[in-house]
């Protein structure tokens, strides 16, 4: 006789803040790839745990704003990295000041996006 027991489905649902934290982590990782002047963003931007703790209290409006702003930051970061890769592929060295300005802008965006939830 065949007896089937339901097996619990693996936990595939991510915690609500997990994507938000992963998104910021991907941007910080990209900064480490670009920033030849240091080791990437300053430690105060490593706030994934603080965002996770504040996520539920942030409210739906702030979480939505965070989602839109962080998504735009990811897209801008990807575009900037793509431009740098094109320069390398074409045999040109990207302008150091332009690269530094991009890194600084991304850092500012990270800080602003993080503050949306951490207020």
Residue at 91 is within a domain = yes
Which domain does 69 fall in, by range?
18-118
Q: How large is the angle between the packed helices 48-89 and 18-34, nearest 10 degrees?
A: 40
Tally of domains within the chain:
1
Residue at 39 is within a domain = yes
Residue at 13 is within a domain = no
Nearest-angstrom CA–CA distance, 38 and 54: 29
Taking only the tens place, the pLDDT of each residue in 32-52 is 776 655 544 444 445 677 887
pTM score of the predicted model: 0.69
Taking only the tens place, the pLDDT of each residue in 95-104 is 888 888 888 8
Nearest-angstrom CA–CA distance, 99 and 86: 13
Residue at 50 is within a domain = yes
Spatial neighbors of 99 by CB under 8 A, at least 6 apart, are 34, 36, 84
CA atoms within 13 A on the CB side of 44: 6
């Amino acid at each position: 006789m065949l007896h089937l027991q339901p097996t619990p489905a693996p936990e595939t649902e991510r915690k609500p803040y997990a994507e938000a934290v992963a998104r910021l982590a991907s941007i910080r990782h990209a900064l480490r790839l670009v920033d030849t002047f240091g080791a990437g963003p300053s430690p105060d931007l490593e706030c994934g745990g603080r965002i996770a703790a504040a996520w539920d209290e942030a409210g739906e409006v702030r979480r939505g704003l965070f989602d839109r702003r962080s998504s735009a930051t990811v897209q801008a970061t990807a575009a900037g990295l793509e431009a740098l890769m094109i320069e390398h592929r074409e045999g040109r060295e990207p302008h150091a000041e332009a690269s530094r300005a991009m890194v600084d802008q991304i850092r500012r965006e990270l800080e602003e996006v993080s503050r949306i939830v951490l207020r």
